[in-house]
A and B are shown apart, each in its own frame.
Chain A
Amino acid sequence: MRELHDDSAVPAIAAHYRLQFEPAQNAHVLLFPEGMIKLNGSGAEILTRCDGRATQGEIIETLRQRFAADVGADVRAFLGMATEKGWVRWLGPP
């Protein structure tokens, strides 16, 4: 089972990874040594908010308001996957 993180923990883009918007691909991409991941819309909505300040709970709340839907489970699952892949690191209690 994938490890889910506590809502009070703070996700940040991992060291050596860079997130930026690429007009040519009309998408956010995650850049790292030898690789590049093109993010879909929801992936980008989540990762652009992983600024090392907002907690997972705050990110969920922002996106809940923005999309008027309960996105909690999706966000936690996505960030769990992103952590496994090494895109995201956590500050504070996991």
Chain B
Amino acid sequence: MTDVPSTLVQTQAQTPTPPLWLLAELTYTCPLHCVFCSNPVDFAQHDRELATDEWLRVLREARALGAVQLGFSGGEPLTRADLEVLVAEAHRLGYYSNLITSGVGLTAERIDRLKGAGLDHIQLSFQDSTRELNDFLSHTRTFDLKRRTADLIRAAGFPMVLNCVIHRLNIDHVERIIELAVEIGAEYLELANAQYYGWALTNRDHLIPTRDQVRRAEAVVAQARQRFGERLRILLVVPDYFETRPKRCMNGWGSVFLTIAPDGTALPCQSARVLPGLDFPNVRETTVADIWYRSTAFNRYRGTAWMKEPCASCPEKQQDLGGCRCQAYLLAGDPDAADPVCDKSPDHGLVTAAVNAPGPDVRPLVFRSPAESRRLRAESAGPDLT
């Protein structure tokens, strides 16, 4: 066996771990138009949604493989009239289910029905602590509605996760966002920096915070953790653009997370659709087990055998697995390259440049909508890095 590279032996000997976490993106339809939306910019092309019985089959097959955490997301999952049916089946199967919602469409009656169907928790997104910025960023008047929805969620006894995507325009409001979370009685607050894929990449120059902003936000969060302790758990995810080593993306390609897009495309992460040369399987054509264990796409970046330099010979390769494939492609133009967040990457300069000189706002903010999706698609067939 000495002439076989050890990485290859490892990759072949290891059976992939089961998909423990299923993200069901029920629809790309959404009443909001967030500038940082992680949906693909060309979402308007993928509008043939799975039917109820197709989703039911996906839930059963993934559960049989071991999936146990389940997120219903979108778009806005509440726009699907069959949401309650899917939640009820998820409950029967033993999933721990989460509704990831903007709150639009969540009436008291609907909350009761979802509770009755066995939904476990709700993650409500806000765009900011102020009405002005919330409504501006989402291009809708939704702030007051979200406040009322939060009260309804509490009244129904759901644990509530408040989610606020953080970026240059709202990061200085972190303290008020935390107060808002306390006021509405959330158990968890997720302050996640915009990930620069999809619409957030289009708008990156407007969204990337400065180093000082990030430091201040970290200090505010540290103080709030002291102050609120168990009452409010705060998760702060800073953009990895400020790091010199990438993060393990999704805990490793095809290792824990399975995303099913509205049209049935199976993805190792929400943004993987941008990667060229990968033919992602569709649940309309094959089983979830085939997709997870046997498809070329899901095996493509498992383990470390696919790596090239500087990753291939790097002593840290097991820790970060070379970082994010989408970021490698979107920034370095090569999905097999090291994630440019890594300072060993020859393209690391692109990341530092974006951080040090967050561009003059050359282009106006683009709000997510089907019309803009079609326009951007027509303008460029590849990723837009200007």
Contacts and interface: CB of A to CB of B under 8 A. Distances in A.
A68 interface: no
B18 interface: yes
Interface string B44-76: 000000000000000000000110110000000
Contacts of A15: 159
Contacts of B98: 33-34
Given A33-B187, A36-B20, A86-B230, A18 B120 contact: yes
A29 interface: yes
Interface string B339-368: 000000000000000000000000000000
Interface residues of A, number: 15
Contacts of A20: 68, 94
B69 A36 contact: yes
B269 interface: no
B280 interface: no
Interface in A1-42: 15-16, 18, 20, 22-25, 29, 31-34, 36
Nearest to A83: B230
Contacts of A22: 66, 68
Nearest to B233: A86
Contact of B18 (A24, A29, A34): A24
A25 B123 CA distance: 26
A33 B66 contact: no
Contacts of B188: 33-34
A33 B123 contact: yes
Given A15-B159, A22-B68, A24-B66, A33 B121 contact: yes
Contacts of B121: 16, 33
Interface in B1-46: 18, 20-21
B186 to A, nearest CB: 10
B66 A31 contact: no
Contacts of A24: 18, 20, 65-66, 68
A28 to B, nearest CB: 12
Contacts of B161: 33-34
A33 B68 contact: no
Contacts of B20: 24-25, 36
B65 A33 contact: no
A16 B161 CA distance: 12
Contacts of B120: 16, 18, 31, 33
Contacts of B66: 22-25
B18 to A, nearest CB: 5
Contacts of A36: 20-21, 68-69, 96
A36 B20 CA distance: 9
A20 to B, nearest CB: 7
A33 B230 contact: no
Contacts of B69: 31, 36
A18 B66 CA distance: 16
B84 interface: no
B190 interface: yes
Given A15-B159, A33-B120, A34-B190, 12 more contacts: A16-B120, A24-B65, A24-B66, A25-B18, A29-B68, A31-B69, A31-B120, A32-B159, A33-B159, A33-B161, A36-B20, A36-B21
21 contacts: A16-B121, A20-B68, A22-B68, A24-B66, A25-B18, A25-B66, A29-B68, A31-B68, A31-B69, A32-B96, A32-B159, A33-B120, A33-B159, A33-B188, A34-B123, A34-B161, A34-B188, A34-B190, A36-B68, A86-B230, A86-B233
